[in-house]
Structure 1
Amino acid sequence: MTLRVCRLAWVLLLLSTAACSTLTAAQREHAAGIAVAAREDAVGCDRADRCAEPSELRALAGAAFTESAAAPDAPPRHYALILDEGGDALLARINLIRSATRKIDLQTYIFDKDDSARLVIDELLAAARRGVQVRVLIDQLSAIADLQILAALAGAHENLHLRIYNPTFGQAVPNYLDYAASVVCCFRRFNQRMHNKLLVIDDAVGIAGGRNYQDDYYDWDSEYNFRDRDVLVAGPVVREMEHNFVAYWNDPRSVPAERLDDVAGVLLAQGVPALPPARPTRPERIETMSQAARDAALVRERLVARAIPVGAVAYLADVPRKHHEGPDTDGAGLSGLAALLAGAQDEILLQTPYLVLSDQALEIFRGLRARPQPPRVVVSTNSLAATDNPIVYALTYKYKRRHVRELGFDLFEYMPFPADPPVDPALGAWQAGDPPTRPNVARSELPGGSLGGSSGADGDGRVEDKLRTETRPSLLRTSAPASRPVPVSGEGPRMGLHAKSMVIDRRIGVVGTHNFDPRSETYNTEAVVLIEDPAFAHALAQSIERDIAPGNSWTVAPRQKPPVLSGLNYSMGKVLEASPVLDLWPWRYATNYAFQPGPDCPAPLPRRDPDFHRCYEAVGDFPEVSLGAKSILTRMLTAFGAGLVPIL
């Protein structure tokens, strides 16, 4: 026992030594001075509008403010646009950045260095050089993982400022030893992440939702892309978005990049480096997007023409004090979502990629279910084949009976190769026939879906780099092979659900970052846009219903009762489901079904219809998954992983 204690103490000493290897305060000040002194101060435009490009998308804000001023006694006027397609979401961002006349504020959880992310970096730099004030705030866990780029941006221009939120041990790009030390010494602090995603232009137009800055959020990845959703809002509410951004920008946890030890080390060693040249995997795609953002007719057709005039809009967002003082309890932040859910009368459409409900969410849904006339609850989430996080899916799988039977959810699981995905190749989206940019691109071709460390990556390691997705907030599983997508039977780029949206009674629409899970309520800061408008709610409902259509999702429904021992099967499954440790019962109460159209089954049926099993074919618990080590892992975590729920 003494030997074990000594070994543990030695490990802790090594970890703490690595974590405390920092620069002195004087060295950090010197590095910051190097960055500040090197920043360009020349501005390439002397016009009052900073040579902003005309934008009808930006002009929506002018119309909203004018209409709001004309009717001061009515709710402020806004325009809202659902950004369902990745190409449109990137097009809107580039067009708006170029339209900025005063300032640009960008807040995000992930910022990569791939094609789409580098395009945005270059556009932000161009805006700063023409005189626009640009502020970029990135959560440290998935910040730009390139010290040369970070150091270059830190000293690029006096109009460009970059801060990193909640850096682990004062570093922008910590190593695995630092992560391990943070788990040992201060897990809660370093596992609290800024999950918000926001782009604000001139306090007039804002984009919020699920998308980060990485190719797989814009349909540009050759292997795996997220089916995601943002909402663009123009009008007075954007000032609230800006106010929330400023709270994060000024928070002590937001540290200028040049004051972080590893970035400062680069500055001290070599001064401000040149920004590494962009090396896009598909240069023609970059050019297509750049030209499209200047094409007024195209922007009008794809974006402006679809904007919906709306009235009441609210930006519900956590504030940084959630990480200092615990969850917000005064109702000013996202706690308002609980009352919104509890007030539903007829229907809730909920879309979340990770169906691991928090205790508060469970209590709300149980209360709704207990009503004499409970509202219908439709839930769209990932299947195992589509998810980017099998560990989280394991808990969804464990509680299928609870979701379907106890809570009464009409549950749909997204397919990895949906028949009707919201993807348009016109703006560079990857298609199944496109050539890969790296060898062995199909995940189904990776060696057996191995759980081994390097077998899931090609020779240059870029697959490892790319998988810096939303599955990384927990420090317990940073870059863990088990948190990568499982091998599937199909080929080509697959899709996984990432949209976080909700429609209440077809009159209130919500788009944002909140997953209704324990992480969203306890560890992450989150933000959503709430729009109370029937036209907007209808459009959002149509978008979710497209995702749950038979060709895009499987229907989850109870299995047909076996002729014998059906009661025992149900009872054993229910008892073991409640166990936080042991759940080895092999037969789940519910499984996945695929619609089989025919003369007697002309249209999809609800799972409660008496003819459901005649028109739907059971396709198993894990359809389209190439069974292997990761499938076994999912079952193991279903058996033993319930204790991980609070941090998943």
Structure 2
Amino acid sequence: MNAVPRGLTALLVLTLSACATLSPAQRDRASQIAAQARSNQIDCDAADACAQPSPLRELGSKALAASTPEQPRHYAVILDRGPDALLARIDLIRGATHTLDLQTYIYDEDDAGKLVLDELLAAARRGVRVRLLMDQLAALRHIDTLAALSGAHVNLEVRLYNPVLHRARITYPQYVLAAACCWRRLNQRMHTKLLLADGRVGIAGGRNYQDDYYDWDDEYNFRDRDVLVAGPVADVMGTDFELFWSDRRSVPVERLSDVGRRLISDGVPALPKTEFERPKRAQAMLDDAANAETVRERVAAHAIEVGQVRYISDTPDKHRENSDASALASDSLRSLIANSRKEVMLQTPYLVLSKAAQKLFSDLHERPDAPRVIVSTNSLAATDAFIAYALSYKYKRRYLREFGFNIYEYKPFPADAPIDIAATGATLPALGLPGLPEQQEPPPARWRRQDRSSVAYPYQYRRPLSREYVATRYARRRSNEPVPLKRAGVRIGMHAKSMVIDDRISVIGTHNFDPRGDHYNTESAVVIEDEAFARALGDSIRRDIAPANSWVIARRDKPPVFSGLEYSIAKVSEHLPLFDLWPVRYATSYEFVPGPNCPSPLYRTDPGFRACYKPVGDFPEVNLGVKSLTTRMFTAFGAGLAPIL
């Protein structure tokens, strides 16, 4: 048999095996096996399930006690720092007395994921009802883990949202098959993220359950943001979670083909003893969570008392045939922007705007009283999705000229960011940041194999199955890595999705303000109309766009001759869906140069801008090479990817 028949045979076998599902009787049998194995032992008989005193749960009690239907009261905390965001989650889990609902896009089996999972299991065993809902494409990595959880305890339920091919996990070839047969369903993902404790305190925002969202990765971490809200809005969050949990797309893991077969053939596997890659760091986090004063000092003390809080969220109805009519989050956010008067401050990791968003900002800019629009996003050096950056790079002229954006691109090594570099455990060259303690634990095994002399392509930089961008999740390994840089260090990438409007309205959520958020992903956001909270969130974003942390994007110097012709050709080339091959872009990156005549940063439209800023190139800090060429190729040919990016 030659190569072609062998390949066709292999493809046929793969197709049949991938599409093979359990019969109804087999699903029932797997469910029965899981149910019979679940322990019903409760470690506590107290009415409060032996909950640990929780300063964050106390915020919920205070807010509910002060609220009336006419005048709700809430407490809100901006969770900028990764370790504090993890600490807040553990405190809420330990302080829950009745229910815990966790909804997420990515749930990894690394230290952060294992630590939270241990806490959820402990809560279930002391009598708290725990429900864990994960999107299928980025759920726990191992079938045995899912099978073990399916039969772990009567108080723990685990479901996966929208499982393609009736499986919990799919391989690379199966992903290709799913893309061929079910492209729209494959891309319809649950991007909503929520942790809700006792229906009174919730955490929502950009963070998933993975080390790099909590400053625990020694190569690449996200500068992200959540908001903790305590008060009546938690009831709305609970109703929204219930819609997802009870939807037909949310499937108990034991009823999926691969998990079900594991249960039928071998029964429920035992959960292995948790082993952390950095046990000292994990134990330190657990010790902090056991200390109410530490939680109060690091999180609860920063609560801001506010009035009305809204939780806007797409429901699973978005994934029906008329999905555009159900994009509640996108419609709500666009309405807030359209009604702005003075300023819109927008933060998104991926500046790839949908057509509706482009029209919104174009109309906004044409208003005689157009508000200032400030955009904080990633540079090519910082982003984890270089294809998305390439599309952003393509439309810089449009963003600056037609939408009036003031764009700030995040640096990969920000000098003043709310990132705990010491917590990463990295053993890399100094970043010029003072006061970092020496490494206390040896690098984990997965990094000890790495050749750190290779700054350009480390051994295992980013795990492809942990991608937020579905379209590139199963691409080649190097397509899933951040671009190589000129120097080593713990790289930071922007992942926060936030907005401040007119110094009065604040938004923290999951929406990247991109086509995926409009058409494919379910998204959610917390909206708070309060000047004090808006001031705090605005200060946080302004810190991110400060010269120490971001470059400014502005028009490059005009060529001495034929500048009008060059601009016209570039504009025509930009509007082509393919073959945008004009080599010169309208804009480039600038660095602030302080001096006697330049005491503080300026907007790009200020007359003195060019006297105080120097151009640093289109891709500063990037080790120009293959990825730079690839970025330009996607700029030229990748416009068709915009709807799924």
TM (norm. structure 2) is 0.94
Q: Distance in 2 between matches of 1:236 and 1:476?
A: 38
Q: Tell me the CA shift for residue 425 of structure 1.
A: 5.6
Q: Distance in 1 between matches of 2:66 and 2:363?
A: 41
Q: Distance in 2 between matches of 1:382 and 1:243?
A: 34
2:131/2:156 contact within 8 Å kept: yes
1:425/1:431 contact within 8 Å kept: no
Q: 1:79-126: per-residue Cα shift (whole Å, max 9, x none)?
A: 000000000000000011000000100000000000010000000000
Q: Secondary structure, in 3 states, of the residue corresponding to 2:182? A: helix
Aligned pair partner of 1:457 in 452, 456, 459: 459
Q: Distance in 1 between matches of 2:443 and 2:377?
A: 28
Q: Secondary structure, in 3 states, of the residue corresponding to 1:110? A: coil
2:464/2:477 contact within 8 Å kept: no
1:494 aligns with 2:491: yes
Q: Tell me the CA shift for residue 430 of structure 1.
A: 5.2
1:547 aligns with 2:556: no
**Number of the residue aligned with 1:24:** 23
Q: Distance in 2 between matches of 1:253 and 1:54?
A: 36
Q: Tell me the CA shift for residue 570 of structure 1.
A: 1.0
**Number of the residue aligned with 2:125:** 129
Q: Secondary structure, in 3 states, of the residue corresponding to 2:518? A: helix
1:281 aligns with 2:277: yes
Aligned pair partner of 1:469 in 466, 471, 492: 466
Is the alpha carbon distance of 1:443 and 1:105 closer, same or farther for their aligned partners in structure 2, counting shifts above 3 Å?
Answer: farther
Aligned pair partner of 2:116 in 106, 110, 120: 120
**Number of the residue aligned with 1:506:** 503
1:223/1:443 contact within 8 Å kept: no
**Number of the residue aligned with 1:264:** 260
1:140/1:173 contact within 8 Å kept: yes
Q: Identity of counterpart residues, as a percentage?
A: 56
Q: Distance in 2 between matches of 1:222 and 1:602?
A: 36
- Identify the range of structure 1 (95-104 vs 581-590) with the bigger mean alpha-carbon deviation: 581-590
- Root-mean-square deviation (CA, aligned residues, Å) is 2.2
Q: Secondary structure, in 3 states, of the residue corresponding to 2:527? A: strand
1:570 aligns with 2:572: no
Q: Distance in 2 between matches of 1:411 and 1:348?
A: 12
Aligned pair partner of 1:620 in 617, 628, 636: 617
**Number of the residue aligned with 1:103:** 99
1:224-623 to structure 2, matched below 5 A, reads: 224-327=220-323, 329=325, 333-424=329-420, 434=439, 436-437=443-444, 438-439=447-448, 445=454, 448-449=456-457, 457-458=459-460, 463=461, 466-474=463-471, 477-478=474-475, 481-623=478-620
Q: Secondary structure, in 3 states, of the residue corresponding to 1:316? A: strand
1:51-66 to structure 2, matched below 5 A, reads: 51-66=50-65
Q: Distance in 1 between matches of 2:373 and 2:21?
A: 51
1:111/1:117 contact within 8 Å kept: yes
Q: Distance in 1 between matches of 2:296 and 2:141?
A: 36
Q: Distance in 1 between matches of 2:264 and 2:459?
A: 34
Amino acid at match of 1:77: R
Q: Distance in 1 between matches of 2:450 and 2:307?
A: 46
Is the alpha carbon distance of 1:569 and 1:8 closer, same or farther for their aligned partners in structure 2, counting shifts above 3 Å?
Answer: farther
Q: Tell me the CA shift for residue 6 of structure 1.
A: 10
Q: Distance in 2 between matches of 1:8 and 1:521?
A: 38
Q: Tell me the CA shift for residue 572 of structure 1.
A: 1.2
Is the alpha carbon distance of 1:640 and 1:85 closer, same or farther for their aligned partners in structure 2, counting shifts above 3 Å?
Answer: same
Is the alpha carbon distance of 1:613 and 1:564 closer, same or farther for their aligned partners in structure 2, counting shifts above 3 Å?
Answer: same
Is the alpha carbon distance of 1:213 and 1:513 closer, same or farther for their aligned partners in structure 2, counting shifts above 3 Å?
Answer: same
Q: Distance in 2 between matches of 1:316 and 1:444?
A: 47
Q: 1:312-345: per-residue Cα shift (whole Å, max 9, x none)?
A: 1100000001102333637855421121110011
1:40 aligns with 2:22: no
Q: Secondary structure, in 3 states, of the residue corresponding to 1:131? A: coil
Q: Tell me the CA shift for residue 469 of structure 1.
A: 3.3
Amino acid at match of 2:459: A
1:117/1:214 contact within 8 Å kept: yes
**Number of the residue aligned with 2:156:** 160
Is the alpha carbon distance of 1:441 and 1:491 closer, same or farther for their aligned partners in structure 2, counting shifts above 3 Å?
Answer: farther
2:139/2:160 contact within 8 Å kept: yes
Q: Secondary structure, in 3 states, of the residue corresponding to 2:22? A: coil
Amino acid at match of 2:321: E
Aligned pair partner of 1:176 in 151, 168, 172: 172
Q: 1:379-407: per-residue Cα shift (whole Å, max 9, x none)?
A: 00000000001111000100111111111
**Number of the residue aligned with 1:192:** 188
Q: Tell me the CA shift for residue 603 of structure 1.
A: 1.3
Q: Distance in 2 between matches of 1:49 and 1:479?
A: 50
Is the alpha carbon distance of 1:305 and 1:511 closer, same or farther for their aligned partners in structure 2, counting shifts above 3 Å?
Answer: same
Q: Distance in 1 between matches of 2:419 and 2:173?
A: 40
**Number of the residue aligned with 2:435:** none
The number of residues matched between the two structures is: 631
2:215/2:423 contact within 8 Å kept: no
Amino acid at match of 2:613: Y
Q: Tell me the CA shift for residue 471 of structure 1.
A: 3.5
Q: Distance in 2 between matches of 1:369 and 1:14?
A: 56
Q: Distance in 2 between matches of 1:217 and 1:549?
A: 22
Amino acid at match of 1:62: S
Q: Distance in 1 between matches of 2:394 and 2:104?
A: 32
Is the alpha carbon distance of 1:249 and 1:495 closer, same or farther for their aligned partners in structure 2, counting shifts above 3 Å?
Answer: same
Q: Tell me the CA shift for residue 253 of structure 1.
A: 0.7
1:442/1:493 contact within 8 Å kept: no
Is the alpha carbon distance of 1:328 and 1:238 closer, same or farther for their aligned partners in structure 2, counting shifts above 3 Å?
Answer: farther
Q: Tell me the CA shift for residue 35 of structure 1.
A: 0.8
Is the alpha carbon distance of 1:440 and 1:361 closer, same or farther for their aligned partners in structure 2, counting shifts above 3 Å?
Answer: farther
Q: Secondary structure, in 3 states, of the residue corresponding to 1:345? A: coil
Amino acid at match of 1:212: N
TM (norm. structure 1) is 0.94
**Number of the residue aligned with 1:453:** none
1:638 aligns with 2:635: yes
Q: Distance in 2 between matches of 1:536 and 1:440?
A: 46
1:163/1:257 contact within 8 Å kept: yes
2:309/2:529 contact within 8 Å kept: yes
Q: Distance in 2 between matches of 1:618 and 1:475?
A: 31
Q: Secondary structure, in 3 states, of the residue corresponding to 1:287? A: helix
2:309/2:527 contact within 8 Å kept: yes
2:288/2:294 contact within 8 Å kept: yes
Is the alpha carbon distance of 1:430 and 1:307 closer, same or farther for their aligned partners in structure 2, counting shifts above 3 Å?
Answer: farther
Aligned pair partner of 2:197 in 174, 196, 201: 201
Amino acid at match of 1:421: A
Q: Tell me the CA shift for residue 457 of structure 1.
A: 3.5
